Each structure stands twice: as structure tokens, then as C-alpha cells.
A and B are shown apart, each in its own frame.
Chain A
Amino acid sequence: MHDVDDQLRELLPRLRRFAASLTRDHSSADDLVQSCLEKALSAWDSKRPDGDLRAWLFSILYRQFLDAHRRSRRYSRMLEFFTGTQDDHHAPSAERTIVAQTTLQAFDSLSTEQRALLLAVSVEGLSYKEVAQVLNVPIGTVMSRLSRARQALRLLSEGQITPPALRILK
């Protein structure tokens, strides 16, 4: 039991970072981590696979983010309908280091899945197989999407295309 808690404690900073990269907001990122941990602890005995714990937790967190995101998007669309305003701007976090500011800004402009993909592969160094598990897509899809995400990040960093052009059409 305590052994489990220690393993989770050790992974907490990474989970929070992954969540923040998805939500682009620290407080909702922590909410996401909390619900991810609740889910993980409840399912620990029955569902916990033998593989990498980090990959398993990431996949829970990513799925919960998508569910919550879908819900909130439905809500904001409704809000938009009634108030006629749009609110999907996000300010880059001030807590981040100045280094690589351009790359980070470019990263923040990528789609959710591209952010999750690049973070899992380039930052966390998960294997393609584990990433496929996290994103719940086949491994071949991971690799072709990775290639597209890298190109998008590159182009955004060079300022060749502006973020609004990449906005996902609803």
C-alpha cells in the first residue's frame, strides 16, 4: 500500500506536467491529476497492467481529459450560443522558464493530441508502444502523427504559420 503511494508520489510531478500541457492551466491540471489518481487507485487491483506505471497513469489522465474536454466544449458552445462570445484564448504560463519560449509558444498552439504526443515521446521518452497505449491508437498511427506534429511544431516555431490557421474546426 505504502509502496504504491511512494511510486505515485514519485510520478506526481510528471503527471502534473502532462496534465498542464493538456489543460494549459495549472489549477485545472491539478483537478485532472486528482481525478486521474482517484480512478487509478480505485482500479489498482483489477486493472493495473504489468507494464510501465507511468504509461498507464498517462493513459488514464489523457482519457479523462478528453472526456472532460468534450463535456466542457459542449458547455462552451452552449454558452457561446447564448452570449455570443468566444472564450478559447489561453495565456502561456508565466511560471515557465524564458528558455525555449518560442518553442513553448509553438507547443501551446498545437492540438491537444499533438501536445500529448510530443510530451510523451520527446519529453517523457516513452516508447512508441507505450504512447500508443496512452493515446489509444495503433502504433503506426503514433508514428505518422508524430511526424506531422514535429513538422507543425517546427513551422510554428519559425513563425511560418500563425496559430489561428491551425485551430481545429469544430
Chain B
Amino acid sequence: MITLPPSEHNLQAYVDGQLDEADQATMETFLATNPALMRQVRQWQQDAKLLRAGLSGDLQRAPNPQLDPAAVRQGIARQRARHFATAAVLLIAVSLGGVSGWQARNMTLSRANPPMADAVQAYRLFAGNAEMVSDWNATKTTDVQGWLDTHFARANRLPDLESAGFQPVSGRLTTTEQGPAAMVVYKDEQGRTLSFYIRPPGELNNLLPRGTRRDGNLQADYWSGSGYNYAVVGPADDPAAQAARRAL
């Protein structure tokens, strides 16, 4: 129920016909006694009518086929497909970048850390050096396997290189980043040396597939088994050493 004199809001509601019937009637009675207000209200209503008439032409504009909902839907679908394609291309680019970056990292790492590099180092340091103190040598006991087993339980057996003329002559324990390591040096009658090297795979459990690589004039053959990594290192181009490698 409205109160009189009517508020500004009620006047507007009356102009727009948004009052209920009873309020509408109350308002009309009131306006009848207020000619000035009545004139203003009528003018507003007239303005609204003129506006409706003036803008009605805008409803008759020629249809724009681009605005048809079906066309708009198609546009949205096209746009989505485009976004999807862009996202897919981005994803592919990022994954390619990631994968090749990882590859590059692996390549750099493996170039910086070739497999069983410590075995080759140990060979260079100890195998050619007759003066070097040894932890085991053939003059003490003949049981090199027994000596090795006390340090590396359940490891692969020492390779038997007898057929190629190589005999174990000395053994040495050493430490590496990956844990304790042992090297057994073999010699043949001409004084050529080969080494058998054993150590744990390290914290990352970096087990090796059977492989061969050359490092300067040396060749390392490496593999893994029974929880250890092994390498046999010797001169690369020596025929006797090659024969021993075939016996591995």
C-alpha cells in the first residue's frame, strides 16, 4: 500500500505501470487533485511512448546472418578447435623440449661420467705399477676367490682367463663414491696386464647393461650381476687381451 503524497519511487512505478491495481487507483485519485504533478507524470509517459515509437524502427532491421544462433555456435566450435589445436601444439612443443632436454642432459652426464670410469682409473693407477702395495697376491695364498668372497658376498665368480694365458697375480681394495671396490690384476707370461674390477652399483642402483667402451688406449668391458657392477679393463688393441675378453 502506498502512502500519500507519493514518493518519487512510487511515481516512477506509476509511470511504468508497475503498481498493483489498488495503488494505481489511489495514485490516480491523488494526481487528479495535483495538476502540476499530473502534468509531469503525463509528460514522462508521453516521453516513454515517443521513445517506444522512435525505437520501434530498430526492431525492423534486416537480419544479420552472422548473428543467427546456429552461426554463433559454429563460431564457438571453431574457436574451441583452434584453442585446442594451439594447446596441443604447445603441449607437444613443451614435451619435445622436455624430452630432448632430458636426453641432452643424459648425454652430457654420460659423457662426463662414462660407465665404470673408476675401473679404468684404477687400472691406470695400479695395474702397471709393480711396486704398488697389494692386499692380496699370489705369493700369499692361491685362493683369490676366497679373498674376494670375504669382501663381496655372493658376487659373480672371477673370470677364468687361463685359456688366454692370464693368471691373477694381485688384488687391491679401494674405496669409491659407490662403496668399497676391489681390483684383481691378471698377468700373462709376456707381462701384459688385465684387471677385473668389482664394486656395488651405488645409491642410485645404477646397474649396467653389458657393454664395451674405449678410453684412450684402454678398453673396458662392463656388466652387472648379483648386485654388483663389474669391469674388465685392458689394453684395447692387444690380441692377447682380445682373446681373454672372448673368454669372459
Closest A residue by C-beta to B64: A30
Pick the interface stretch among A47-55, A69-77, A120-128.
Answer: A120-128
- Residue from A14, A17, A99 within 8 A of B50 (CB atoms): A99
A4 CA to B44 CA, complexed, in Å:
36
Q: Does A28 contact B (CB under 8 A)?
A: no
Q: A104-B54, A128-B13 are in contact. Are A34 and B44 (CB under 8 A)?
A: no
**Which residues of A (91-117) have their CB < 8 Å from a CB of B?**
95-97, 99-101, 103-104, 107
Q: Mark B71-82, 1 if CB is under 8 A from A, else 0.
A: 011011000000
Closest B residue by C-beta to A128: B18
Contacts of B75 in A (CB 8 A): 34, 38
From A37, A119, A140, name the one whose CB has the most chain B CB atoms within 10 angstroms.
A37
Pick the interface stretch among A59-67, A82-90, A144-152.
Answer: A144-152
Please determine whether A147 and B70 come into contact, CB atoms closer than 8 angstroms: no
Contacts of B54 in A (CB 8 A): 96-97, 99-101, 103-104, 107
From B16, B18, B66, B75, name the one whose CB has the most chain A CB atoms within 10 angstroms.
B16
From B48, B66, B68, name the one whose CB has the most chain A CB atoms within 10 angstroms.
B48
A146 CA to B11 CA, complexed, in Å:
11
Q: A21-B55, A96-B54, A97-B54 are in contact. Are A144 and B9 (CB under 8 A)?
A: yes
Contacts of A17 in B (CB 8 A): 55, 58-59
A147 CA to B15 CA, complexed, in Å:
10
A57 CA to B81 CA, complexed, in Å:
25
A144 CA to B9 CA, complexed, in Å:
7
**Which residues of B (17-73) have their CB < 8 Å from a CB of A?**
18, 43-44, 47-48, 50-61, 63-64, 66-70, 72-73
A17 to chain B, nearest CB (A): 4
A30 CA to B192 CA, complexed, in Å:
92
Contacts of B18 in A (CB 8 A): 127-128
Please determine whether A13 and B57 come into contact, CB atoms closer than 8 angstroms: no
Please determine whether B69 and A37 come into contact, CB atoms closer than 8 angstroms: yes
Q: Does A135 contact B (CB under 8 A)?
A: no
Please determine whether B67 and A153 come into contact, CB atoms closer than 8 angstroms: no
